[in-house]
Structure 1
Amino acid sequence: YFPRRVIPMLPEKLSNGLCSLNPGVDRLTLVCDAVISAKGEIKAYQFYPAVIHSAARLTYTEVAAILANTKGTEAAKRPALVPHLLHLYDVFQALLQARHVRGAIDFETTETYIVCNAVGKIEQILPRTRNDAHKVIEECMLAANVCAADLLERHKHPSIYRVHAAPTKEKLNQVRTFLKQVGLHLGGGDTPSASDYAELMPKIKARPDATLLQTMLLRSMQQAVYSPDNIGHFGLSYEAYAHFTSPIRRYPDLLTHRAIKAILQGKRYDPKGFDTSVLNTTLSPAARKKQALDKAAGKKKHEGDVAVWEALGIHCSANERRADEASRDVEAWLKCYFIRDKLGEEFTGTISGVATFGIFVQLDSLFIEGLVHVTELGADYFQFDEARHELRGERTGIRYQLTDRVTVQVSRVDLDARKIDLRLVTEAGIHAVLKNEARRAETEQQARGKKSTPKVAGPTAATIKAGKGKRAKSTATAEKSRSPKTHAKTGKKNRV
C-alpha cells in the first residue's frame, strides 16, 4: 500500500472485479455463519459457499454517523439499513465484552496517512481516526478468524495459523525492571498472560507517564507470524487464530479458504508446486524431526506434510515484512522530500526511539521522524541503557528517555538514504538538565521515604558549558553512519 497506489496481490480483474464486493451485483463468497450469545461467546458456527448481493457500499464515516445518531442526515438517506446496523452494533458490544473477559491486550496507537497533491507531493500527514464503525468490523473479523482456526483444528487439517508468541524472558526482565522503578508490577510470574498485561493498562492510563509505559509494554511484545504450529495468539488471548477474512489481499487467507473448501467437500487440500528446497535450512526443529522420522519409517514425502506448510508460513511471513518495508521506504522518501523545504526550521517533538548512536524524534503535527545523533547531544559521554530506553550523560547526568519532549531543528535531509538529521535547540539542553535535576531529586526523596516535595535546583552556567569545545563521545560513535532501515523508520504497526 503506497500513498497514491495499491499493488494488488491478485490480477486486477479479480481483485477489483470478480472478487470485489461491489453493490448491486452478485458475487461468490465463502460464508462464516455464527451464533453469538449476549456475552459475546461463539455458541455455534458453520461455513458454506454462497452468492451475496450487496445492498449498499457504506464508508466507515457514514456508518459511524448513523450509529451516533439514528435520526440524523446519514440515517435518513438509508432508513432500511438502520435496524441492521444497530443489530450489528449489539453484536459488537457483546464481542467487546468477551474481549475484556478473556483479557486481550488493547494498545492505543496512532496511525497516520499521507495526503498527496496531483503530482504526488505530500500536502499533509494526518492521524487516522478510529471510530466505532472500524471497531465493529474488527471484532466481527476476529470472530470469523477464530471460527476458521477452530474448524481447521477440529478436522486436523494442516494449514498456517496466525501465531503470536509470549514475550521472551529477556524482554520480560527488561519491562519488569522498568515497571518496578515507577512503582508498578506485571503479574503472572515467569509466564504472564495477556490478561496480566490487560490488568495493568487501566492503572497506567491516568498517569502522566502513560505514553512511556504503554510504549515499554508494547516493545516487550514479539512479532506475530504465520506457522502451521498452532501456539495460539498471545496478544488477542486466543488458543487458535487464523487469517480468513481477506483472501484478495493476503495469501495466508487464500490458503485458509482452500483448506476450508476442501473440508466442506470431504477432501484434503495439498499445496501444489511450492518449492521448499530453498527454505529447508530455515525449517523448525519440529519439522526437521518429522521429516527424519517419516524417512526412517519409509514414508513417501507428500506435498501436504508439515514441511510444506512450515515453508509456506516462513514465505508468507517474509513477504508480509517485505511489503511493509516497501511501503515504509516510499513513505520515508516522500517525507524527506516534504521536509526539505523546512531546513533550519524548529519543531517540538517526542523522543520515539533511543539507540546507542542517538535519539529518534517524531515531530508534532508533521508525524515525521528524524535522528539527533549522539554527537549533537552535548559535550558528554552518553551511555545507552536498553532497559530504560534512555541515553545518560556520565558527567552531567542528563538523560534522554523514550517519550521525553524536546525542541529540535531540521539540519540535513538525505533523499537517497531516506534520512532526516535533527539537532537539539539550545533551550532543549537546558530543559533536559532541569528535568533530570527533578528526576534525581524525586529518586532521592523516594529513597528517604519522605512525602514532602524537594526543591529543584536550576542548572548553573558551569553545568551547561561544562566540557565546551570537547567532542561528544559515545559507546557507538563509529555508528554515526546509521543504518538507513533504522534511520528512516516511520513506525511499525502492531499487526494481529
Structure 2
Amino acid sequence: MKQKKPFRAVKADAPRAPSGLPDDKTLLEALQASREVDVGDLAKQFGLKGEDRRALRQRLKALADGGKLDKRGRKTFGAMGQLPETGVVEVVEQDIDGELWARWGKPDALKQRSGSATQNEAVPLARLAPLKKSVQQTPPKLGDRLYVRFEKAADGWIAHLIKILDQGAPKLVGVVRIGKREIRLESVIRKEKDSYILTGSNLDTLEDGDVVVAAPVGGTHRFGPKPARVLEVIGKEDSPKIASVMAIHSHGLPIGFQTSTEDEAKSAQAPGLGKRTDLRDLPFVTIDPVDAKDHDDAVYAHADDDAANPDGWVVWVAIADVAHYVTPGSSLDRDARDKGNSTYFPDRVEPMLPHVLSSGLCSLQEGENRATLAVRMVFDREGRKISHKFVRGLMRSAAKLSYEQAQAAIDGTPDDKTGPILDSLLKPLWAAHACLTRGRQVRQPLQINSPERRVYLDKDGNVERIERRVSLDAMQLIEEMMIQANVSAAETLQKHKTPLIYRVHEAPSLEKINNLADFLATLGLPWAKGEPPRTPRFNQLLESQKEGPHAEIINEVVLRTQMQAHYSPENFGHFGLNLDHYGHFTSPIRRYADLVVHRALIRALKLGDDGLTDYEIKTLQDTAEHITATERRSMQAEREAIERYIASYLHDKVGATFQGRIVGVTRFGLFVKLTDTGADGIIPVSSLRDDYYVHDDVQHALIGERHGYRWRLGATIEVELMEAMPITGGLVFKVLSEPEVGDPGAPRPRLGMRNRVKTPNVRGKPTKKPGFRDEPKGPKPGVKNMKKKKR
C-alpha cells in the first residue's frame, strides 16, 4: 500500500519547494514558451498533484507579486511582455504613418494586474494588421475596442482583427473646473446629466478653463461624480474658435488624413484627353457661394437647335471626376468613406478629401483643364426632360462666379467679369431655368420656406453678425439643374440594372399627419386625418397661409411632419422632391454617396476600369447606413457649433429683450426662436408663475389649470434673455408677454391637489381665481379620529 505524504503547511510569502516543484527559472521559461497558461495545465505539464499543485499556485502568485509574472485571471498567468493567443484590445495610438496601435485588456484590468497605472508600459502595444477584404469597409478608430488574434513578429506584436466590439468608445468633452479639493469636468453637452471628477496622472498640468477630451473610468459609481481620465487638451474655453473644436470632438468627427492618404493625393496626376470626350470648347461656368473653396459642378445651357423640339433647351451639367483620383480600396477611399462627407463650420471645413484634391485637381477652377463626368440633358418647352446622355470628358471652366455676382448681372448691374458673358452665357442659363421651372411647377415638389441663418466671424474668430440667408434665383437655378442631373444618374443606372445608392425620402407617417391635423385645427384650418399625404396638398396649405400671421410656424410644422431623408440601396422614391428615382451625383468632392454613383455610372456605361467593384456592390447596404450616420453626425455637429457661436454673441446681452416665436411646446417649457438672429432657447415652465401649466399635446400648448390661459405653438412673444452659455450653446429666456386667453370651447385640464394652494398672479401677488379655494383652517379631516384611536 502506497504511503501518503504528511501534510505540510506552506506560507504564501515564503513557499517551501516540494520535491517535484520546478525552480523559478524553469517556471518562467515554461510560461514564456506558451504565452499564457492555466495553473492546472502547468501542473499537468510537470506532473504535480495534491500539495505540489497548491505550492505551484503559491509560487506563481509570489512571482506575480514580485513583478516577474503577469496574473491574468484567477488561475491563469503569463510571462511579462507576452500577449495571449487572442484577447480584447483598445485602440490607443495612431503613429505618424497612420498605423493604429492597440493595448490588450481594459485600463482597470491593467491597473489591477500591474499594481499601478504607470506600469501599463509592461504590457506591450500591438500594431493593428492591415484589414482583410471582408472587414475593409469598417476600419477601427482610436478608442474602439476590438477582439483580436496576437502574433509575435520580429519587430514586435501584431494584432489581427477578428471583430469590432465597440465602434466609437464613449468620449467626454468638457471644461476643467479646478476646486480646492478636486478637479471637475463641466460637460459641453446640454443633455449630459452626469458629473465627472478627473483622476489619474498629470492633473497638475491642467488649468481652469482648459477644454479637454476625457474618457470615463470603468466601474460602478452609484453616488456622486464619476471618475474620468484626461485624454487630450484641445483648447481654452475663451478661445474664439473653440465652438467648432468642441463640436468636432463631441461627435467624434475624423480629423485630418492618414499619411498614406496625403501621399496618394500629392502623387495624383491629372489625366490627359485620351479616350475622354473633349468638352473644352463648351463655355461652362461655376456659380457657388462667395467663400467656396471647392467647385465640383459647372453648368452651360443653349437653345436646342433640333427642329423636332421647338423652344426646347439643352442643359449641360459637368461634375468633377473624383472617381479618377479616389479608387476603390485606396487609402484615399478608406478615409473618404470613414468621413462620409465634408463638415462645414463658420470658421473651418473638415473636408472629405485632402485639400490638394478638393481645392485643387478635383475643383473645376477657371481656365484649368479638369477631368469631368458630365451629362447632356434635353428639355422640351414645358420643362420635361426628353433625353440625357453621360460622357467622361475633359472640360475647362470659362468663369467662376458667386451667386450674388451672377444675380446682380441678371438684375441689370453686371461687373467687369459678368458683363462680357451676360448675353452669351448667363441669359441662356436663366432662360433654360425658366423652362425647367415650368416642369417643376407641374411636378409640385414641397415648397417649404425654412429660412437659414449664417454666422459671420471677424478676422479674430469672434461673431461679427448673424444674418438670414437670402434665397436668390441664381441659387434656385443651380439647385434645379443639379436635381435634374441627379435624376438622370438614377434613371441611367436603373436602365442598366446597375446597383446604386439612392437618396430616398419616404412619405410622412400616419401618426405625423394626424398630429399635423390636430395642430391645424387649433388655427381653424381643415385637414382630413384620413387624407393620404401628397405634396400638392401640402403646397396648397403653405400657399394659402403665405401672407398670414401663422405662415412661419406652419412652414415649421409642415417641415417637422416630414420624414428624414437617408441613403439606401433600395428605391423608395423622394417624397419631398416628388420624384420616383433620385440619387446623389453632383457633389463627389464632399459626399461619398456621389462618388459611389459616379463609380456605378463608369461601370454601367463602360467608361473605364475604375468603376464600382463587386465587393462594393455586395456591401452597398452597409455603406448606405454608414454614410447616413455620418451625414447626421455632421449635421448635429454643425448645428451645435452654430448654437455655441450664437450663445457667445448674445453672452453680453443678458437682460436685453427680443421678439420671438414659440416653435416648440413640451411639458418642461417653451422653445423660442428669436426673430432677428434665429437663436433658439427655452422658457422653463417653472418660470411661468401665474398658474400651474400642463402640456396639451392636441392643442400644442401649455394650458393653465385654473384660468385656462395658454402658451400656444406659433405664438409671437416678447422675451428677456436671462442666461447665455457659450460652452453648451444654451439660452434661457423669461417671457414678458401675457398669455393668450384660453378657448372656452376647449376642454379644461383637471384640477389636482394644487387647487388648494394659493397661486400668484402675473405680478407675483397671491390672488384668488374662479374655481380656487383656500386651504381649510383647523385640523385636517381625520386627525381627531386618529388621536382617539391612539388613546
Q: Which category describes the TM-score, using the shorter chain as reference length?
A: 0.7 to 0.9
Letter in 2 for 1:9: M
Matching residue of 1:40: 383
Give the 5 Å matches for 1:189-228.
189-228=530-569
Residues in 1 aligned to 2:662 and 2:637: alpha-carbon distance in whole angstroms: 24
Aligned counterpart in structure 1 of residue 668 of structure 2, from 357, 369, 391: 357
User: Is the 1:269–1:304 contact (alpha carbons within 8 Å) kept by the matching residues of 2?
Assistant: no
Q: Taking structure 1 as reference, are residues 254 and 388 closer, same or farther at Cα in structure 2, changes over 3 Å only?
A: farther
Residues in 2 aligned to 1:261 and 1:188: alpha-carbon distance in whole angstroms: 46
Matching residue of 1:107: 448
Give the 5 Å matches for 1:66-85.
66-69=409-412, 72-74=413-415, 77-85=418-426
Letter in 1 for 2:377: A
Residues in 1 aligned to 2:529 and 2:689: alpha-carbon distance in whole angstroms: 42
Matching residue of 1:30: 373
User: Is the 1:351–1:401 contact (alpha carbons within 8 Å) kept by the matching residues of 2?
Assistant: yes
Looking at both structures, which has the greater relative contact order when contacts are Cα pairs under 8 Å and sequence separation is at least 6? 1
Q: Taking structure 1 as reference, are residues 6 and 304 closer, same or farther at Cα in structure 2, changes over 3 Å only?
A: closer
Matching residue of 2:349: 6
Q: Taking structure 1 as reference, are residues 76 and 266 closer, same or farther at Cα in structure 2, changes over 3 Å only?
A: closer
User: Is the 1:188–1:196 contact (alpha carbons within 8 Å) kept by the matching residues of 2?
Assistant: no
1:401-422 CA-to-partner distances (Å, cap 9, x unmatched) read 2221112122123333321111
Q: CA deviation at 1:267?
A: 8.5
Q: Taking structure 1 as reference, are residues 156 and 388 closer, same or farther at Cα in structure 2, changes over 3 Å only?
A: farther
1:251-278 CA-to-partner distances (Å, cap 9, x unmatched) read 1011111111111118998866xxxxxx
Matching residue of 1:371: 682
Whether 1:303 aligns to 2:615 is: yes
Whether 1:251 aligns to 2:595 is: no
Q: Taking structure 1 as reference, are residues 355 and 92 closer, same or farther at Cα in structure 2, changes over 3 Å only?
A: same
Give the 5 Å matches for 1:325-364.
325-364=636-675
User: Is the 1:104–1:235 contact (alpha carbons within 8 Å) kept by the matching residues of 2?
Assistant: yes
Aligned counterpart in structure 1 of residue 712 of structure 2, from 377, 401, 410: 401
Q: CA deviation at 1:467?
A: 7.9
Residues in 1 aligned to 2:587 and 2:391: alpha-carbon distance in whole angstroms: 16
SS of 2:399's equivalent in the other structure is coil
User: Is the 1:348–1:405 contact (alpha carbons within 8 Å) kept by the matching residues of 2?
Assistant: yes
Report the TM-score, using the length of structure 2 for normalisation: 0.50
SS of 1:101's equivalent in the other structure is helix
User: Is the 1:75–1:82 contact (alpha carbons within 8 Å) kept by the matching residues of 2?
Assistant: no
1:62-84 CA-to-partner distances (Å, cap 9, x unmatched) read 11112222xx3438853234332
Q: CA deviation at 1:359?
A: 1.0
Whether 1:320 aligns to 2:631 is: yes
SS of 1:135's equivalent in the other structure is helix
Residues in 1 aligned to 2:568 and 2:609: alpha-carbon distance in whole angstroms: 18
Matching residue of 1:411: 722
Q: Taking structure 1 as reference, are residues 383 and 188 closer, same or farther at Cα in structure 2, changes over 3 Å only?
A: closer
Residues in 2 aligned to 1:361 and 1:145: alpha-carbon distance in whole angstroms: 37
Residues in 1 aligned to 2:606 and 2:599: alpha-carbon distance in whole angstroms: 11
Q: CA deviation at 1:462?
A: 8.3
Q: CA deviation at 1:398?
A: 2.0
Q: Taking structure 1 as reference, are residues 419 and 180 closer, same or farther at Cα in structure 2, changes over 3 Å only?
A: closer
SS of 2:693's equivalent in the other structure is strand
User: Is the 1:412–1:422 contact (alpha carbons within 8 Å) kept by the matching residues of 2?
Assistant: yes
Whether 1:142 aligns to 2:454 is: no
Q: CA deviation at 1:187?
A: 6.6
Residues in 1 aligned to 2:576 and 2:765: alpha-carbon distance in whole angstroms: 47
Letter in 2 for 1:98: G
User: Is the 1:259–1:268 contact (alpha carbons within 8 Å) kept by the matching residues of 2?
Assistant: no
SS of 1:420's equivalent in the other structure is strand
Q: CA deviation at 1:185?
A: 3.5
Per mean C-alpha deviation after superposition, the further-off stretch among 254-263 and 183-192 is: 183-192
User: Is the 1:259–1:269 contact (alpha carbons within 8 Å) kept by the matching residues of 2?
Assistant: no
1:358-412 CA-to-partner distances (Å, cap 9, x unmatched) read 1111223232221111101224222223343322222232222222111212212
Letter in 1 for 2:593: P
Q: Taking structure 1 as reference, are residues 231 and 267 closer, same or farther at Cα in structure 2, changes over 3 Å only?
A: farther
Q: Taking structure 1 as reference, are residues 323 and 57 closer, same or farther at Cα in structure 2, changes over 3 Å only?
A: same
Residues in 1 aligned to 2:620 and 2:527: alpha-carbon distance in whole angstroms: 36
SS of 1:208's equivalent in the other structure is coil
Give the 5 Å matches for 1:236-247.
236-247=577-588
1:1-35 CA-to-partner distances (Å, cap 9, x unmatched) read 11111111111110000001110111110001100
Matching residue of 1:436: 741
Give the 5 Å matches for 1:443-482.
464=762, 468=766
Richer in helix (by share): 1
Q: CA deviation at 1:321?
A: 0.6
Matching residue of 1:483: none
Whether 1:56 aligns to 2:374 is: no
Q: CA deviation at 1:107?
A: 0.6
Residues in 1 aligned to 2:489 and 2:691: alpha-carbon distance in whole angstroms: 57
Give the 5 Å matches for 1:269-288.
none
Whether 1:386 aligns to 2:727 is: no
Q: Taking structure 1 as reference, are residues 112 and 263 closer, same or farther at Cα in structure 2, changes over 3 Å only?
A: same
Matching residue of 1:119: 460
Q: Taking structure 1 as reference, are residues 187 and 386 closer, same or farther at Cα in structure 2, changes over 3 Å only?
A: closer
Q: Taking structure 1 as reference, are residues 388 and 267 closer, same or farther at Cα in structure 2, changes over 3 Å only?
A: farther
Q: Taking structure 1 as reference, are residues 22 and 245 closer, same or farther at Cα in structure 2, changes over 3 Å only?
A: same
User: Is the 1:336–1:419 contact (alpha carbons within 8 Å) kept by the matching residues of 2?
Assistant: yes
Aligned counterpart in structure 2 of residue 16 of structure 1, from 359, 371, 375: 359
User: Is the 2:720–2:733 contact (alpha carbons within 8 Å) kept by the matching residues of 1?
Assistant: yes
Q: CA deviation at 1:183?
A: 3.8
Find the structure with the greater CA-based Rg: 2
Residues in 1 aligned to 2:671 and 2:389: alpha-carbon distance in whole angstroms: 49
Letter in 2 for 1:235: G
Residues in 2 aligned to 1:131 and 1:377: alpha-carbon distance in whole angstroms: 41
Structure 1 unpaired stretches of 5+: 273-301, 445-460, 471-496
Matching residue of 2:492: 151
Give the 5 Å matches for 1:475-494.
none
Residues in 2 aligned to 1:254 and 1:241: alpha-carbon distance in whole angstroms: 15
SS of 2:545's equivalent in the other structure is helix
Matching residue of 2:136: none
Letter in 1 for 2:499: P
SS of 1:370's equivalent in the other structure is strand
Letter in 2 for 1:375: S
Matching residue of 2:431: 90
Q: Taking structure 1 as reference, are residues 228 and 78 closer, same or farther at Cα in structure 2, changes over 3 Å only?
A: same
User: Is the 2:662–2:670 contact (alpha carbons within 8 Å) kept by the matching residues of 1?
Assistant: yes
Aligned counterpart in structure 2 of residue 167 of structure 1, from 496, 505, 508: 508
RMSD: 2.5
User: Is the 1:39–1:97 contact (alpha carbons within 8 Å) kept by the matching residues of 2?
Assistant: yes
Richer in strand (by share): 2
SS of 1:91's equivalent in the other structure is helix
Residues in 2 aligned to 1:173 and 1:242: alpha-carbon distance in whole angstroms: 30
User: Is the 2:673–2:681 contact (alpha carbons within 8 Å) kept by the matching residues of 1?
Assistant: yes
User: Is the 1:351–1:402 contact (alpha carbons within 8 Å) kept by the matching residues of 2?
Assistant: yes
Q: CA deviation at 1:209?
A: 1.9
User: Is the 2:691–2:761 contact (alpha carbons within 8 Å) kept by the matching residues of 1?
Assistant: no
Structure 2 unpaired stretches of 5+: 1-343, 747-758, 769-791
Q: Taking structure 1 as reference, are residues 336 and 240 closer, same or farther at Cα in structure 2, changes over 3 Å only?
A: same
Residues paired across the two proteins, number: 413
